[in-house]
Amino acid sequence: MNPLVRFFKVKLYTALFLLVLMLVIGVLGFRVISDYSWIDALYMTVITITTVGYGEVQPLDANAKLFTIFLILSSVVVLGYAITVITEYILSKNNFEEQKQR
Amino acid sequence: MNPLVRFFKVKLYTALFLLVLMLVIGVLGFRVISDYSWIDALYMTVITITTVGYGEVQPLDANAKLFTIFLILSSVVVLGYAITVITEYILSKNNFEEQKQR
Amino acid sequence: MNPLVRFFKVKLYTALFLLVLMLVIGVLGFRVISDYSWIDALYMTVITITTVGYGEVQPLDANAKLFTIFLILSSVVVLGYAITVITEYILSKNNFEEQKQR
Amino acid sequence: MNPLVRFFKVKLYTALFLLVLMLVIGVLGFRVISDYSWIDALYMTVITITTVGYGEVQPLDANAKLFTIFLILSSVVVLGYAITVITEYILSKNNFEEQKQR
Ligand SMILES: [K+]
Ligand SMILES: [K+]
């Protein structure tokens, strides 16, 4: 396999792993801190990470708000990393095709 | 027609088709699972896919929450694909103009 | 002035004009269709176009929901156009600097 | 240090500084204008700037709505600047690697 492609695969899998990790942290967090059911905890985590944000499934106390702030800010960083990796991959694929055309 | 442009047109129409498909799946899903009216189902689907997310038009039970999670995650993948295709198109058009200038 | 820069300035001003137009359409629409106050209509329009989406300032009837769907979908297209124009501008500036370095 | 890298570091730190400034302005604003607690003011600011937007923590009067409109629009501009700087950095790094490969 092309070493450049392998290099990006590692970075893409890292980004994907971090996104799944955020999902797991979110679900466990809302389970433990706010006593949400499994489905509510997953629902709350998905609408938070994707910024859909319909509203809190059940009211959050101060601790749950601090956890949610941490989850949102971490997700923004992880999503930013994922988008950067995908952009770099598109650019390097584009370079490769540009050089083939010459 | 330029084969490169035709190639991107196919990809752009695929992305557009998938977005319309998500819209149709969303409307039918909220109709069937949550008994929303046609307008409410369309409204809920549009505010979900675009991540505006004012709030659930009517409360969702566990099944409707699972459907909404599926709709949100699928939409993120389809939107990501659409943005990737548009970025590749802008880049290859940019390459083309760059080479003309030399 | 560089003709390339002038070309992008026209496109950027078009995008900015369309964004302000969406803002005006949103404010007038929520004023007329939902009898919102000026501040509520502006607030609702801003949280809609930016997809913050706290929630409807006051409940929307079927007509107001259809108008909101139209406002959201138009804004997505206008924002997509704005982002495309800015990306093209960054790329052509980047080409220009790349060629100077050679 | 490479002057190009130093140039982008200055821009990236500026973007980061402006984001933190928006956070501080948001927290102080919701404290003073809407009498939010520190945690609520931070929570409201984070869900606003990241466009998660679950909903207003407590109802906002006309002045608080105007402040929120200002916070949202400023954040969009700052986020747009941050994304532009990161894109320019990825592109110039990509140019550099492309030229090494020749
Ligand atoms: K939202
Ligand atoms: K909301």
CATH code for the domain in which residue C57 is found: 1.10.287.70
Read off the pLDDT of each residue in A78-93 and give the average, rounded to a whole number. 92
**DSSP secondary structure, C29-70, as one string:** HHHHHH---HHHHHHHHHHHHTT-----SS---HHHHHHHHH
Q: Which among C62, C72, C95 has the least Cβ separation from residue B52? A: C72
Identify the residue with better confidence: C2 or A48: A48
Residue D4 in domain: no
pLDDT in tens, chain D (102 residues): 567 778 888 999 999 999 999 999 999 999 999 999 999 999 999 999 999 999 999 999 999 999 999 999 999 999 999 999 999 999 988 887 777 766
Residue C102 lies in a domain: no
Q: Take residue C26 and report the two structure tokens written for it.
A: 């949103």
- pLDDT given for residue B95 in this prediction: 80
Taking an 8 Å cut-off on Cβ atoms, the answer to whether A53 and C55 are in contact is: no
Cβ contacts of A51 on chain B, cutoff 8 Å: 51, 53
Nearest to D52 among A51, A62, A87 (CB): A51
Q: Which of D62, D76, D91 sits opposite C94 (nearest CB)?
A: D91
Produce one character per residue of D31-46: b if its CB has 16 or more CB atoms within 10 Å, e if not. bebbebeebbbbbbbb
> What is the percentage of chain C residues whose pLDDT exceeds 90?
77
> CA D24 to CA D20: how far, in whole Å?
6
D contact chains, 3+ CB pairs < 8 A: A, B, C
Mark out chain A residues that contact chain D at CB-CB < 8 A.
48, 51, 53-56, 62, 65-66, 68-69, 72-73, 76, 80, 84, 87-88, 91-92, 95
Query: What domain count does chain C have?
Result: 1
Residue B98 tokens, joined: 């760059």
Mean pLDDT (chain A) is: 92
pLDDT at C92: 86
Q: What is the pLDDT at residue C102?
A: 64
> If you measure from the C-alpha of residue A86 to the centroid of ligand 2, how many angstroms do you get, rounded to a whole number?
29
Q: Which amino acid is at C90?
A: I
Distance CA B12, CA B9 (A): 5
pLDDT, residue A3, reads 72
Residue B31: the pLDDT is: 97
Share of chain A above pLDDT 70, in %: 95
- Rounded Cα–Cα distance for residues A63 and A60 (Å): 8
**Crossing angle (nearest 10°) for helices D38-49 and D3-34:** 130
Q: Cβ separation of D51 and B55 shorter than 8 Å?
A: no
Subunit contact B53:D55, Cβ cutoff 8 A: no
Report if residue B102 sits inside a domain: no
ipTM: 0.93
Task: State the ligand closest to the CA atom of C52.
Answer: 1
The residue-averaged pLDDT of C48-69 equals: 97
> Are residues D53 and A48, on separate chains, in Cβ contact within 8 Å?
no
Give the residue from C77, C73, C101 showing the smallest Cα distance to C15. C77
Q: What is the pLDDT of residues A56-70, one digit of tens each?
A: 999 999 999 999 999
Task: Give partners of A (≥3 CB pairs < 8 A).
Answer: B, C, D
**b/e map of C64-92 (b: 16 or more CB within 10 Å)?**
bbebbbebbebbbebbeebbbbbbbbbbb
Q: Which helix (H) or strand (E) holds A96?
A: helix A62-101
* C74 Cα–ligand 2 center, Å: 20
What's the half-sphere exposure (Cβ side, CA atoms, 13 Å) at D74?
Answer: 16
Ligand index nearest the alpha carbon of residue A57: 2
Q: How confident is the model at residue C44 (pLDDT cuts 50, 70, 90)?
A: very high
Three-state SS string across chain B, please? CCHHHHHHHHHHHHHHHHHHHHHHHHHHHHHHHHCCCHHHHHHHHHHHHCCCCCCCCCCCCHHHHHHHHHHHHHHHHHHHHHHHHHHHHHHHHHHHHHHHHC
Q: The domain containing residue D33 runs over which residues? A: 9-94
Is the residue at B28 inside a domain?
yes
Structure confidence at residue D100 (pLDDT):
72
Residue D36 lies in a domain: yes
Helix axes D38-49, A62-101, angle to 10 degrees: 20
User: Considering the domain boundaries, does residue D101 fall inside one?
Assistant: no
CA distance A63 to chain B (A): 23
Cα dihedral value A101, B2, B5, B9, nearest 10: -140
- Smallest CA–CA distance, residue A45 to chain B, in Å, is 10
Residues in A touching D42 (Cβ below 8 Å): 69
Hey, what are D101's tokens?
Answer: 């490969």
- How high is the pLDDT of residue B1? 56
| pLDDT for D96 | 76
CB within 8 Å: D56 and C53 = no
One digit per residue, the tens of pLDDT, for chain B of length 102 reads: 577 778 888 999 999 999 999 999 999 999 999 999 999 999 999 999 999 999 999 999 999 999 999 999 999 999 999 999 999 999 988 887 777 766
Which tens digit of pLDDT belongs to each residue from C18-39?
999 999 999 999 999 999 999 9
CB D82 within 8 A of CB D37: no
